[in-house]
């Protein structure tokens, strides 16, 4: 089946075979966060249209028996591809996870074909094409956590100029997933989504003009300034990346609490 990714990248993916299970059971790949790109390399039959990616990005024909590399593809395209490829074999998935409120095991059923997806914006496509970071501004005391394209927009919206920070963001490439997984192994109690957000920040200019480019410095700044900033930059990157809706609402059948759940992109996703 030919699938068109949110960025416009078009690939033909074959269906799963029993032999693919060997890869899925490779715990080393899972631990490194490389299962999905390696699996896609096995499933890619044909590159139909590179979309915004260069030949160098996709290293076409470089590796033996491989149609393209997924390492330099944006994570939104990669996760979209794997969900679509899974859906070609079986559309209706069901998995179990504990309720975050009562801890009872919930069974979640989802049809992959019903997942909503957004296209990459023209700004996001230009970013993937040129590698120039996407720039957004966010107010550090802005409770509504709205990101702005320019500092002037932020001021016009009523933010105090002394509270506005500038973020140069990179859409997360698949090759950075091992970095995110390594960070998680090193600080198992850390917030994975915050780590992922910080990995995408190439440069952060504080309201006082201080420039941060070091991951640790960015992480401690973000930890201090709280969830509003993280949410603002996440909203900005998600909007421009496009892709599958990150999570959806599920109501626990034991305690009837509604909560956001996400597709389980671990080995179980491929074994269901």
Binding residues for Zn ion restricted to 156-215, rule: CB under 5 A: none
Site string for Zn ion, 127-146 (x = CB under 5 A): --------------------
Closer residue to Zn ion (CB): 103 or 187 = 103
Distance, CA of 88 to CA of 216 (rounded, Å): 41
Q: Which stretch binds Zn ion (CB under 5 A): 24-32, 40-48, 91-99, 115-123?
A: 91-99
Question: Residue 231 Cβ, how far from Zn ion at the closest point, in Å?
Answer: 25
Question: Among the residues of the chain, which ranges form H helices?
Answer: 21-24, 27-32, 35-43, 55-58, 75-89, 122-130, 151-156, 177-186, 192-200, 215-225, 227-241, 268-271
Nearest distance from residue 107's CB to Zn ion, in Å? Answer: 12
Give me the least distance between CB of 253 and Zn ion, in Å please: 8
Please select the residue that binds Zn ion; options are 29, 35, 40, 99, rule is CB under 5 A: 99
Element of type H or E holding 148 = strand 147-148
Helix residue ranges, H only, 98-159: 122-130, 151-156
Interface residue with Zn ion among 17, 254, 266, 268 (CB under 5 A) is 254
Residue closer to Zn ion (CB basis): 105 or 271: 105
Instruction: Give the span between the Cα atoms of 272 and 268, in whole angstroms.
Output: 6
Give the C-alpha separation, 13 to 34, whole Å: 18
Size of the residue set binding Zn ion (CB under 5 A):
6
Kindly state the smallest distance separating residue 247's Cβ from Zn ion, in Å: 17
Among 2, 48, 255, 271, binds Zn ion (CB under 5 A): 255
> How far is it, in rounded angstroms, from Cα 146 to Cα 72?
29
Chain centroid to Cα 82, Å, comes to 13
Give the nearer residue to Zn ion in terms of CB position, either 21 or 101. 101
Cβ atoms of 21 and 40 closer than 8 Å: no
Residue 107 or 187: the one with the smaller Cβ distance to Zn ion is: 107
Contact between 37 and 71 under an 8 Å Cβ cutoff? The reply is: yes
Smallest gap, in angstroms, from Cβ of residue 143 to Zn ion?
29
**Nearest distance in Å: CB 108, Zn ion:** 12
Residues 214-253 that bind Zn ion (CB under 5 A): 252
The residue (of 255 and 271) whose beta carbon lies closer to Zn ion is 255
Q: What share of the chain is helix, strand, coil (3-state, %, to 5)?
A: 40, 25, 35
Q: How far is the CB of 258 from Zn ion (least distance, A)?
A: 10
One of 2, 102, 156, 271 touching Zn ion (CB under 5 A): 102
CA-nearest of 77, 44, 51 to 172 is 77
Q: Which of 21, 62, 96, 101 binds Zn ion (CB under 5 A)?
A: 101
Q: In this structure, how many other beta carbons lie within 10 angstroms of the beta carbon of residue 187?
A: 11
Footprint of Zn ion (CB under 5 A): 99, 101-102, 252, 254-255
């Amino acid at each position: 089946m030919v699938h068109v990714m949110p960025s416009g990248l078009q690939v033909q993916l074959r269906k799963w075979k029993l032999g693919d299970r060997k890869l899925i059971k490779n715990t080393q790949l899972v631990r490194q966060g490389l299962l999905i790109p390696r699996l896609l390399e096995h499933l890619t039959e044909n590159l139909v249209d590179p979309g915004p990616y260069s030949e160098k990005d996709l290293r076409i024909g470089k590796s033996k028996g491989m149609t393209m590399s997924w390492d330099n593809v944006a994570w939104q395209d990669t996760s979209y591809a794997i969900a679509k490829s899974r859906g070609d074999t079986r559309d209706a998935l069901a998995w179990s996870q504990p309720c975050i409120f009562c801890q009872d095991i919930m069974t979640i059923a989802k049809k992959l074909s019903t997942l909503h997806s957004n296209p990459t914006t023209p700004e996001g496509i230009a970013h993937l094409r040129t590698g120039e970071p996407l720039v957004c501004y966010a107010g550090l005391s802005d409770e509504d956590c709205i990101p702005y394209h320019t500092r002037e927009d932020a001021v016009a919206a009523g933010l105090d100029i002394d509270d506005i920070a500038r973020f140069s963001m990179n859409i997360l490439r698949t090759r950075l997933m091992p970095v995110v997984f390594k960070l998680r192994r090193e600080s198992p109690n850390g917030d994975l989504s915050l780590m992922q957000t910080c990995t995408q920040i190439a440069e952060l200019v504080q309201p006082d003009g201080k420039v941060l480019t070091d991951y640790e410095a960015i992480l401690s700044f973000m930890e201090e300034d709280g969830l509003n900033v993280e949410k603002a930059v996440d909203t900005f990157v998600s909007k421009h990346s496009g892709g599958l809706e990150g999570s959806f609402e599920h109501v626990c059948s034991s305690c009837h609490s509604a909560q956001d759940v996400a597709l389980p992109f671990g080995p179980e996703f491929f074994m269901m």
